[in-house]
Amino acid sequence: MRKSPCIRILGGSALALGLIAAAPAGAQADAFPEGTEPLAEAIERDLGVASGQADDLLKAEESARSLEKEAEKAAGEAFAGAVFDTETRELTVSVADPSAVEAVEATGAETRVVEASQDELDAAMADLDAASEDGVSEEVTGWHVDLESNTVVVEALEGSEDAAEDLIADAGLDSAPVVVEEADAQPETFGAIVGGDAYSPGNSRCSIGFSVRGGFVTAGHCGSTGTSVSGSAGESGRVAGSVFPGRDMGYVRANSGWTPSPYVNNYRGGRVAVRGSNEASVGASVCRSGSTTGWHCGTIQAKNQTVNYPQGTVRGLTRTTACAEPGDSGGSWLSGNQAQGVTSGGSGNCSWGGTTFFQPVNPILSQWGLSLTTT
């Protein structure tokens, strides 16, 4: 097997999916409790957090979101990403220049010195994306920045490392910190033709994302622009905007019968209130609601992931450890009470786990000038 000096072959990983439902016509905003008990229960169940400690974790993650912004500003061009540790409750900021350590630590963050800055890692990602525009082997399943190892990871199916190395060579990354990692399965988008608490674009089924003024956001692969959609109680609407592949973002304009609400179904008989869309740190906990599998949590592994689906390449996704299954596509993701994104795809299931990708919500809002419905 050919190997360039900057490439290592590592172990494998796997992938999966998520949801949210808009309020039925006539539903009251306070019909269900807004408490975080179901959220805490799911975090304790899925992340192994000690009983009674989930609320402390959520508060620490909220503080980390603000701290990361301060630390990035203090680090300047030396900023190389930040990772939150759910066990120690600490945010560690990587810097590519030792002279930036003092300024970053003055914000209260832990620091470590690494080889490549965030800008350098992002540039390597951009080179890979550009190299893939002329076509890339389906055996290469995707690539992303791994902030913990300070590398760009290119994933390929077993026995297909050569295809990954060809992509790296085409991108001209001979000296960049790149590794090749084995993927357990080909990631797929998820939309099932089955019933459930969801919405139906045409003859398929997907999960509703977040309410916005005039409708809701969801995954782009759930329906092309112009597709008619319906809700479980007879609500109707039409896909007003859709981008897929390239990105995985969709916007449904709701007609009469659908009333936007600032809530996410927690599948425990209640709802979780959405209060904003501040982006969580790598390493932070994240939970999703899906029409097939309900409410599940995991952690954020990486941002700006490129995934090579059979239908085409999608860029800018966030990688997580949460499980999901077909029919969860388009569903909502939350970190605490902050909206994070909508389910795109992956592999695995909620029996043995997997890795799920979501399309961040803020780019969707910007794409069509939408306003997120919040409490």
Active site residues: 221, 248, 329
Q: Please state, in angstroms and rounded to a whole number, the distance separating the CA atoms of residues 341 and 363.
A: 9
Burial class (CB in 10 A: 0-12, 13-18, 19+), 155: buried
Helix 37-47 to helix 54-75 angle (10° resolution) is: 80
Give the C-alpha distances (Å, rounded to integers) separating 295 from 45, 51, 197, 199, 364. Answer: 11, 18, 13, 17, 23
DSSP 47-102: H-PPTT-HHHHHHHHHHHHHHHHHHHHHHGGGEEEEEEETTTTEEEEEESSGGGHH
Q: Please state, in angstroms and rounded to a whole number, the distance separating the CA atoms of residues 94 and 119.
A: 12
Phi, psi (deg, nearest 5) at residue 363: -60, -30
Q: Please state, in angstroms and rounded to a whole number, the distance separating the CA atoms of residues 240 and 244.
A: 14
Q: Please state, in angstroms and rounded to a whole number, the distance separating the CA atoms of residues 119 and 107.
A: 21
Reading the block at residue 174, the tokens are: 């001979």
Helix 161-170 to helix 118-132 angle (10° resolution) is: 100
